[in-house]
Structure 1
Amino acid sequence: MTLLVTAMLPALLAALLAAPLALLPDAGPEHAAPAAPSVSPAATGSVDPAGTRVDFPGAGGIVLHGLVLTPPTAAAWHRGPGLVPIPGAGPRQDTRSRELAPLRWYESTWFQAVATLLCLTGFAGYALTGAVRRIRGRSRPDALPRAARWAAATGTAALLGGLGYLLFLVVTAAMFPGPVLFGRPVAWLAVQLLALVALGSAVVAAGTALRRRAALATAPGLDRARLGALLPAAALFTPWALSWGLLLP
């Protein structure tokens, strides 16, 4: 008896597993999924499409190049043409680019930082100490050249005005340069004029100081120090102004 049950157990398990499948509506062989039909590539429009080169004019005179892919069969027109950019077909460059020239010594970062600090100290220091002396009611020594005051005032204005205008252009992305005269912004022309007046006044002050060197020897030490700081600042201001184009026509 035991042997009979053991022999029939596989058949019973197979019948139990086949019974749920027989209840499904598509379980029969007549409901089997049909085989996928064989479709040729030409019927689906998957053959190589025809290409047409086109050019697209852009802003700034830039011309982009591309390739329009047209379906070769009428059955594939519902997909519409496609645009494929051509690799490396960007703006063409007719001339070879040149490497940037190395900065001159007066265009380096360290020189700009040091020169700006020393020039501002010499120009503004002379003007501020003179203003403090007038507030205290002290008279100006006759040995000091009058042109030194002009050099100090215009040099300070040229330094602060030039740097301030350049900073304004950077912040506004140069969208508002202001009125233009002779092809240059009026504000920049004013800074150039201040720079020229500062250097001219410094040259006159140096010449006057040489003629009055005997009188300057008896002047107070503070006044001699003021003039001694102003004239080197004016000399250093020359390459600084050249690097920023303040002395260029």
Structure 2
Amino acid sequence: MNIVITGASSGVGFEAVIELALTNNHQIIALARSQDKLTRLLEIAKGLNPECTLYPVAFDIVHDDYDGLQQFVNSRFEGKIDVLINNAGALINKPFNQTDETDFVEMLQSNYLGHVRMIQNLLPQMAQGSHIVNIGSMGGFPGSIKFGGLSAYSASKAALHTLTECLALELRDQQISVNCLALGSAQTEMLEKAFPDYQSPVMAFEMGKYIADFAITGHKFFNGKVLPVAVTTP
């Protein structure tokens, strides 16, 4: 399969790439802002599977030029994407009365509008039967426990959840499935930033494996679904 994944330099995105790279049947374009971390990702992946096909690309989904990305994807994948995993994101942890409009804009750009741009620009290259997986959060899941300080973050994730449901309907005739995984806690740098004193029972590599497996097979069972993936919530 031809796979594009964002937010690949750390956390569950990093671990999902490692899992996908263990299979020689996959070609992976891994996007993140940090070239140093992407270089490390490639070193680890090649150490585990020297035959893996992994292209690490430094790319900012909010600010960078999508024309260049489109050309790169087309040259490596010959215009055919099977899986797009929108995992990139950021977090701001502030009490609401200290959260200004710039914070809300930053969260919407990083956690929502960047994914909108990615989907719009790569959609022409997505094949029939392909799968778009958005990585959401239990913070944006209706009825879930909410936590102080995460209003901007959670609201941006809720927007991504709703986009998932809308796109599944619009892309149905093109036979492109769209699902969202609303993640609960996994032990990542982002979790430590939000909840410094909390230890998750789920390791980043475990959640990364789940994301990788769902991206490959989940569209056989789901479309237009926002699925909670949480043992515990934070």
Q: Shorter chain as normaliser: what TM range?
A: under 0.3
Q: Please state which structure has a larger fraction of its residues in strand.
A: 2
**Structure ranking higher on relative contact order (CA contacts 8 Å, 6+ apart):** 2
The structure that has the greater radius of gyration is 1
TM-score, normalised to structure 2, is 0.26
